[in-house]
Amino acid sequence: MPLLNETLKKLLVCPACHSDLDEDDAASQLRCRPCGRAYPVREFPIMLIEESTIVDAQASGASKA
């Protein structure tokens, strides 16, 4: 089952770099490929930079928020 419905998925972007997000169902996260951040999805997406983690450190040379 997808984390988000299609309408919500089209509206949400990464708060850090404004790029589109990919769903990671297994980890219950929304991931941003360009900046490497992952945003948790609990009952709803937590779209706060402070709550994000860096899952791809090579994406922009970024480190944990």
pLDDT in tens, 37-51: 999 999 999 999 999
Distance from C-alpha of 58 to C-alpha of 45, rounded to nearest angstrom: 24
Domain segments of the chain as ranges: 6-54
Residue 65 has pLDDT above 80, yes or no: no
Q: Give the tokens for residue 13.
A: 């972007």
Residue 64 has pLDDT above 50, yes or no: no
Distance from C-alpha of 45 to C-alpha of 24, rounded to nearest angstrom: 12
Is 6-54 in CATH node 2.20.25.10? yes
Q: What's the confidence (pLDDT) of residue 18?
A: 97
Distance from C-alpha of 56 to C-alpha of 33, rounded to nearest angstrom: 8
Q: Percentage of the chain surpassing pLDDT 70?
A: 86
Residue with tokens 């980890």, as numbered in its chain: 27
pTM for the whole structure: 0.82
Residue 23: pLDDT band (50, 70, 90) is: very high
Distance from C-alpha of 45 to C-alpha of 57, rounded to nearest angstrom: 22
